[in-house]
Structure 1
Amino acid sequence: MEIIRYAELRAEPWRNKGGVTRELASHPKAASSQDGAWDWRVSIAEVSKAGQFSAFPGMDRVLTVVEGELLLLTVDGAEHPLEKYRPFRFSGDADAAGALPTGDIRDLNVITRNGAFKGYTSIIELSKKRAHPVFEGQFGILLQGQATVSPGNAGGGDSSGEGEATEAVSVPGEPETLGRYDAVVGSDSATPEILGRGFLAVVSIDRVT
């Protein structure tokens, strides 16, 4: 079982100085989280001022506001008010810019290369009575509240075979407490299970066949 600790991730400033990005995972690993030399990437960005978004030609994007009230996203001239916990998909080729009518926001970004992978983001409410499993090719990211994660059965689990997690640490069989924005790497062996109260983002990276 692997956990990516958000507090240990390096913040990379945007080229336009409008925010910073922390990469949770990418495949294959790149020297920089912003150079686009990967087929998929999962990251969290802090947006502190309005401005143009970087283009990712040949990519598909899913953006979800996870902190703050509203991001006013303009994509190819069309305005899209993005509220918290409402994933929005758009093309990485698009001319995109963001405005912050209610102040700073933090967003979860899933970017995948067209024809190779497809990314999905779902927001679920956690339960203390029913554990939520995180399977191979998935990441479970704690957005709000308190939660613990433990392997579904005895023995160690394998991380997602398609990705190389950043700052991943091995965890024994006992439940481990998750901090805000910590990510659990999914596995089909000793599948991690998350219990708690709050909201979880489940990111799925599917290979296109």
Structure 2
Amino acid sequence: MEIIRFAELKPRPWHTGGVTRALASFPDAAGPGTPQDGGWDWHISIAEVAKAGPYPSFPGMERVLTVVGGELLLLTVDGAEHPLEKYRPFRFAGDADSAGALPTGDIRELNVLTRTGAYKGYTSIIELSKKRAHPVFAGQLGILLQGQATVSAGGGAGAGNGGGDTDAGGGEPLGRYDAVVGSGTGTPEILGRGFLAVVSIDPVAD
């Protein structure tokens, strides 16, 4: 079972005056966190947006943007304004003329980029439960956005990632923005209270 610890990711400067941290990408040709299209077919990151301004262009890519910290991003895409509230994913073309304004202050955003014609990215926001575990399947990434949660290998086996304390149920504790990599064998299951972003990267059929 693989857990990506957000606190261990290297921050890199972001065009909005903040920083970005790459959670995962494929292929990872340019190195994690590179704020340009490094030749990957998909890329998942969390960025801090500290000032208004234009967004970079990603030709040949499709983008799903979700505000996960702060309250509101006023996103302009090809001249049309879109008020993006927290936990409401928004899809748009990576090469669109886009810019963001911050009417309520700084935000954090979850960015999912996929190469058009090769992959399709989806972001869903799930409210967690302490009674029913939420599975993270192969091709998915589960990111804890808010609250307290633990993750265990499928079937309640409680296998961790090799470090850290576990709770009475044998789960591995998750911190804010920690990501669980999905698997088809020993599918990770997340229990807790709060909100989880589930990012799915689906290959596009020929």
TM superposition score normalised by structure 1: 0.90
* 1:179 corresponds to 2:175: yes
Q: Which amino acid counterpart does residue 201 of structure 1 have in structure 2? A: A
**Equivalent residue of 2:155, what SS?**
coil
Inter-partner Cα distance in structure 2 for 1:150 and 1:45: 27
Match of 1:161? none
- Identify the residue that residue 35 of structure 2 maps to in structure 1: 34
Give runs of ≥4 in structure 1 deviating > 6 Å: 154-157
Q: Does 1:24 align with 2:23?
A: yes
- The aligned counterpart of 1:98 is 100
CA shift, 1:113, in A, is 0.2
State the Cα distance separating 1:155 from its structure 2 match. Answer: 7.7
Q: Alpha-carbon deviations, 1:92-126, whole Å to 9, x = none? A: 01000000000000000000000000000000100
CA distance in 2, matches of 1:185, 1:51: 32
Relative contact order, CA 8 A, sep 6+: which one is greater? 1
Closer/same/farther in 2, CA of residues 183 and 90 from structure 1, 3 Å limit: same
Instruction: Choose from 185, 199, 208 the match for 2:204.
Output: 208
Residue ranges of structure 2 left out of the alignment (5+ in a row): none
* 2:130 corresponds to which of 116, 128, 143: 128
1:20 Cα offset (Å): 1.3
How do residues 33-52 of structure 1 correspond to structure 2 at under 5 angstroms? 33-36=34-37, 37-52=39-54
Distance in 2 between residues matched to 1:196 and 1:133, nearest whole Å: 12
The percent of aligned pairs where both chains have the same amino acid is: 75
Shift of residue 154 of structure 1? 7.8
Aligned to 1:74: 76
* 8 Å Cα contact 1:125/1:197 also seen in 2: yes
Distance of 1:63 and 1:29 partners within structure 2: 21
Matched, 1:4 2:4: yes
**2:90 partner letter:** F
Q: Deviations over 1:127-153 (max 9, x none)?
A: 000000000000000000000000013
Match of residue 161 from structure 2? 170
Match 1:149 to one of 136, 146, 151: 151
Q: Which AA in structure 2 matches 1:12? A: R
The one-letter code sitting in structure 1 at the alignment partner of 2:19 is V
- Pairwise CA distance, 1:19: 2.1
Distance 1:156 1:25, change over 3 A: farther
User: CA separation in 2, counterparts of 1:59 and 1:66?
Assistant: 21
TM-score, scaled relative to structure 2: 0.91
Aligned residue pair count: 197
* Structure 1 vs Structure 2 CA RMSD: 1.9
